[in-house]
Amino acid sequence: MADKVYRVNMSNLSYKIEEVPAHWMGLGGRGLTSTVIAEEVDPECHPLGPNNKMVFAPGLLSGTTAANSGRNSLGTKSPLTGGIKESNVGGTMAGIMAKLGVKALIIEGIPEDDSTFYHIHITKDNVMIEAVPELVGKDNFFVLDAMEEKYNKKVAVMTIGRPGEMKMLISNISVRDPKGKLRSHGRGGVGAVMGSKKIKCITVDAENYKEVTYAAPEKFKEASKIFTKALQENPISGEGLPAFGTNVLVNIINEAGGLPSHNFRSGSSENAEAICGETMAENIKERHGSTTHGCHAGCVIQCSQTYNDKDGNYLTSGFEYEMIWAFGANFGISDLDQIAKIDALMYDLGVDAIETGVTFGVAVDAGLIEFGDGLRAFEILEKEVANGTPLGRIIGGAAGNLGKLYGLVRVPVVKNQSIPAYEPRAIKGQGITYVTTPMGADHTAGYAVATNILNSGGHIDPLQKEGQVELSRNLQIASAAVDSTGMCIFVAFPALDDPKCLPALIDMINARFGINLTADDVTNLGANILKTEHEFNIKAGLTSATDRVPEFMKYETLPPTNAIWDFTNEEIDEFWNF
Amino acid sequence: MPNKIKVTIKLFAQYREGKFKIDKRSYENNSTIKDVLDDIGLDLGKYPIGVLMVNGRHVKEDFALEDGQILAIFPKVGGG
Ligand code: SF4
């Protein structure tokens, strides 16, 4: 059976199961979501109004036996940036959607009766849309339990917590992982879009799917073996990530002076040793947690972990560098366990680690909280944000708006989206990615840190301007293509350094669909995705004047490197000449 | 001119196992990072060098160290 497009209209609570249009056929993941948004959504529409849509699409290789292929893409117009958004995530959703033959799930409209929230359940031939008043006002783990009870332990679940219901700009859409923990469609306030459509949760039937078929099964197997080997033999994906998680980055970024601290006043943190990946791994070992955990079934890297407290009781999982940086270095909490408790709460509420953490950093400057006061941060999230009090709304409105409300100048956002854990002044290639990506400040869009700091794919001096625009462009094109395959971002490390990795990835796509893509085709695909997204943004009003860092970075030097942002507008705009 | 230099050495990730986090050691004048690596005896077969930094700037193994510098030694690490 050919894949289908499942289209749900919330305005009249109806659905259609449609044939896949020919020109969407070869697309998956980000390539498909950005194409649909560009074709069907008015760039000038209000992101929380009836004319915005949400598109979920598994990657081209999702559902196959290919390692690390379980990422699902979500496309929409972001209420945070006002531009196009693609956000991808692990969990079990992508694989199950692909096996059920769901090429894309498109959700449009807003219910007339907005007094309740709905649950959408997708089976092969049917879409059920049902009011769930009993889930309104509940958070993610409650919804997860309710869905597991209603269906079974395997059912794929996406859900929003209270902040998503209240359409807060820090809200995510959370996705169930194989162990019943959560991962997040993060950034851009995508939870608010789901909240605006009055959707509490989406489930997909995991009992009646068929395994995906391969045009050339033997060839697929062969390529898949080479690909898996490349992931396992690479020192980063094979050794570093499983042993220390992404948090291994704290020390190296700190050492290079690129770890934003004290709301982007400094590039190094006094807390680095207390919160670093090495300390975390020691704690995990002592407390009988586990340093390895995959966010989806086929992950052979397993960068996630189980983190326990001092008494060996479970605290959190999916405890990432970005979270630990935001609350540890930038907001100043020196106790890793306290950050872990906030992490667990934030997974339950469904709020974004970067957006929320950076907002707390700005909140210090606003005089709303003391630097490093983790107890108070926890309390604000639990009592104010979760209940939508005026203070909760101020935090939930994200860093850019908080800065405006309090008349602050040091507000680290690009296109109103918070800057992640790498200082643009001290890691200039990454800065170019922040300002040029259509997503707003997003580190995954083109991870120049790899070449600026980690010596992956060669080395370009992070403090010099030379070569950064080209580096970021190449990485962004490659990332757009990889985001279409369903692969996790960390295949980038073997892909940058192992010449066997990318050809094997392309061979798998070809063997799955019986096509003949070349490396050039894949590059063109990535370039076209970027251009499509850029065009949407320009029509939405995000012109080149928004491809800029916050101005304070142009006149405030950053210790300890004393770096400054010194790109001219012309140098930045050169990015789009391809 | 003294014929010894003092260098602060920081080790990270797997390099810390059975070694140290931070140490101050003396070397002959004009010693390079290579000399320091020989002295510490890291398991470079298992964990090849990823990044070397002196005072926060990327350098190569043949870099000649000076008195008072901070040398940071990382195996291949990554994340995102
Ligand atoms: S490496 Fe990490 S992010 Fe990637 S698929 Fe595995 S657990 Fe998920």
Find out whether the beta carbon of A321 lies less than 6 Å from any atom of ligand 1. no
Q: Domain map of chain A by residue range?
A: 4-205, 246-422, 424-497+516-578
Find out whether the beta carbon of A476 lies less than 6 Å from any atom of ligand 1. no
Find out whether the beta carbon of A68 lies less than 6 Å from any atom of ligand 1. yes
* Residue A7 β-bridge partners: A16, A106
pLDDT exceeds cutoff 80 at A448:
yes
Name the phi and psi angles at A286, rounded to 5: -60, -35
Give the mean model confidence (pLDDT) for residues B43-72. Answer: 96
3-state secondary structure of A376: helix
CATH of A424-497+516-578, one of 1.10.599.10, 3.40.50.300, 3.30.230.10, 1.10.10.410: 1.10.599.10
Q: Which helix (H) or strand (E) holds A307?
A: strand A304-308
The residue range of the domain holding B8 is: 4-75
pLDDT exceeds cutoff 80 at A171:
yes
Which CATH number is B63's domain given?
A: 3.10.20.30
Closest-lying ligand 1 atom to the alpha carbon of residue A241: 1
Sorted by sequence, the CB contacts under 8 Å of residue A118 that are 6+ apart come out as A10, A13, A111, A129, A130, A131, A132, A198, A199, A200
pTM for this entry:
0.97
Q: Which of A159, A202, A185, A198 is nearest to A48 (CA)?
A: A198
- Tell me the shortest Cα–Cα distance from A375 to chain B, in angstroms: 27
pLDDT digits (tens, 9 = 90+) for A306-318: 999 999 999 999 9
Sorted by sequence, the CB contacts under 8 Å of residue A69 that are 6+ apart come out as A59, A61, A62, A63, A94, A95, A298, A485, A486, A487
- Average pLDDT of chain A to the nearest whole number: 96
Give the pairing type, strands A173-176 and A413-414. unpaired
Give distance in angstroms: CA of A291 to centre of ligand 1. 12
Give the mean model confidence (pLDDT) for residues B49-63. Answer: 97
Give distance in angstroms: CA of B57 to centre of ligand 1. 30
Can you give the C-alpha Rg of chain A in angstroms? 22
Q: Which of A104, A72, A83 is nearest to A3 (CA)?
A: A104
Give the pairing type, strands B49-54 and B70-75. antiparallel
Residue B80 belongs to a domain: no
Can you name the CATH fold of A4-205? Answer: Aldehyde Ferredoxin Oxidoreductase;  A, domain 1 (3.60.9)
Q: Which of A117, A100, A103 is nearest to A166 (CA)?
A: A117
pLDDT digits (tens, 9 = 90+) for B11-26: 999 999 999 999 999 9
Residue B27 belongs to a domain: yes
Find out whether the beta carbon of A202 lies less than 6 Å from any atom of ligand 1. no
Interface touch B77/A244, C-beta < 8 Å:
yes
**Looking up tokens 């296109």, which residue turns up?**
A415
3-state secondary structure of A266: strand
Share of chain A above pLDDT 90, in %: 95
pLDDT digits (tens, 9 = 90+) for A4-31: 999 999 999 999 999 999 999 999 999 9
pLDDT digits (tens, 9 = 90+) for A350-386: 999 999 999 999 999 999 999 999 999 999 999 999 9
The CATH architecture to which A246-422 belongs is: Orthogonal Bundle (1.10)
pLDDT digits (tens, 9 = 90+) for A530-549: 999 999 999 999 999 999 99
Nearest CA in chain B to A560: B56
Interface touch A239/B58, C-beta < 8 Å:
no
Please tell me the total count of domains within chain B. 1
